[in-house]
Amino acid sequence: MTEISIVIPVYNEEETIPELYTRLLGLLTLLNEKFAVSNDHVEFIFVNDGSKDNTLQSLISVTQQHASFKVINLSRNFGHQIAVTAGIEMAVGNAVVLIDADLQDPPEFIIDLYAKYKEGYDVVYAVRQRREGENFFKLATAKMFYRIMQRITNMNIPLDTGDFRIMGRNVVDVINSMKEKHRFIRGMVTWVGFKQTGLLYHRKERFAGQSKYPLIKMMRFAWDGITAFSTSPLRMVSYLGFTIATVGFLYCLYVIYAKIFTNETIQGWASVMIVTLIMSGINLITLGVIGQYIGRISEESKNRPLYIIDKIYQKNVS
């Protein structure tokens, strides 16, 4: 019955909600005109991810104005990727769209994504062609991250692509069956396979407010992506171990030779200090990397729910 579900994670975006609502109504009209998809075949699912401002009140009032809009209110802030997951699991459409609430992803572009999807693709992701209002540092780190990811995961996660995309029911069902806790959705979608393609779009400036991904969160997100799809950090530390052991062994030969066959007095303070400090540093880093993977095993094994729903709001139902 429902043709398209549009999932929108929302965290402290009260200033943007009225404009977002207007733009989404515009999208409804376009869907109607271009594809004869009527209002009752479209659902908008806002996931309120523990906002601390008046976002929830604004969203509830939207649901009272229009029956196509629903709100899932999570019990606290679970983070962007989990919020998206909650929305996808609730979505019933034949196709599911993921889009940010801050209007950096223009809602009208969903028309293009849908048209391409209708050509027979299972996933159409939106590729950032130009980004406005994001500083050089964010652009450079994002670019570097995607290239490193592609190198080490053996997976062609599309470059310069966020979560803005449309996915067919077949893909969504697989994603819903993947219960991992550290979720890197764009990687999971690539992993699923089927017929995927990208469409270029212009990523806009935030309509209002600040990015909710400061540097530290971005780094955590990047690390999640890498550890979820690759054990190459473990491989890298073991290569490092082999290299150092080899160098150490060769140096030992020299030390023994010097002791037995030469009269050089072996002075040792500087070299011993250097070796001790470097080695214990590398040991700790290696342990840390292993610890990160063990920590992830521990988190997965606890089997906690991914998110907790406080309440679902919908017109005349609550």
Please report, as ranges, the residues that interact with Mg ion according to CB under 5 A: 100, 102, 104
Q: Which residue intervals of 66-207 are DSSP H helices?
A: 80-90, 109-118, 136-153, 169-177, 185-192
Closest contact distance (angstroms) between CB of 82 and Mg ion is 17
Q: How far apart are CA 223 and CA 229, in angstroms?
A: 10
| Interface map 117-156 toward ligand UDP (x if CB under 6 A) | ----------------------------------------
Among 4, 7, 10, 17, binds ligand UDP (CB under 6 A): 10
Among 14, 43, 49, 224, binds ligand UDP (CB under 6 A): 49
Q: Could you tell me which residues are beta bridge partners of residue 72?
A: 47, 312
Among 80, 165, 183, 186, binds ligand UDP (CB under 6 A): 80
The answer to the question of residue 9 lying near ligand UDP (CB under 6 A) is yes
Check if the beta carbon of residue 49 is closer than 8 Å to that of residue 80. yes
Residue with tokens 């009269």: 263
209-228 residues in contact with ligand UDP (CB under 6 A) are: 211-213
Q: How far apart are CA 127 and CA 202, in angstroms?
A: 8
The answer to the question of residue 102 lying near ligand UDP (CB under 6 A) is yes
Closest contact distance (angstroms) between CB of 98 and ligand UDP is 10
* Size of residue set near ligand UDP by CB under 6 A: 16
Among 14, 43, 100, 224, binds ligand UDP (CB under 6 A): 100
Provide the edge-to-edge strand list for the sheet that holds 95-98. Answer: 196-203, 123-131, 161-168, 95-98, 4-10, 42-48, 69-74, 309-313
Among 2, 32, 61, 77, binds ligand UDP (CB under 6 A): 77
Q: How far apart are CA 136 and CA 129, in angstroms?
A: 15
183-212 residues in contact with ligand UDP (CB under 6 A) are: 211-212
Q: How far apart are CA 64 and CA 49, in angstroms?
A: 20
Closest contact distance (angstroms) between CB of 62 and ligand UDP is 15
Question: Between the CA of residue 159 and those of 162, 163, 169, 211, what are the distances in Å?
Answer: 9, 12, 24, 21
Q: Which residues of the shown chain bind ligand UDP in the complex (CB under 6 A)? A: 9-11, 13, 49, 77, 79-80, 83, 100-102, 104, 211-213
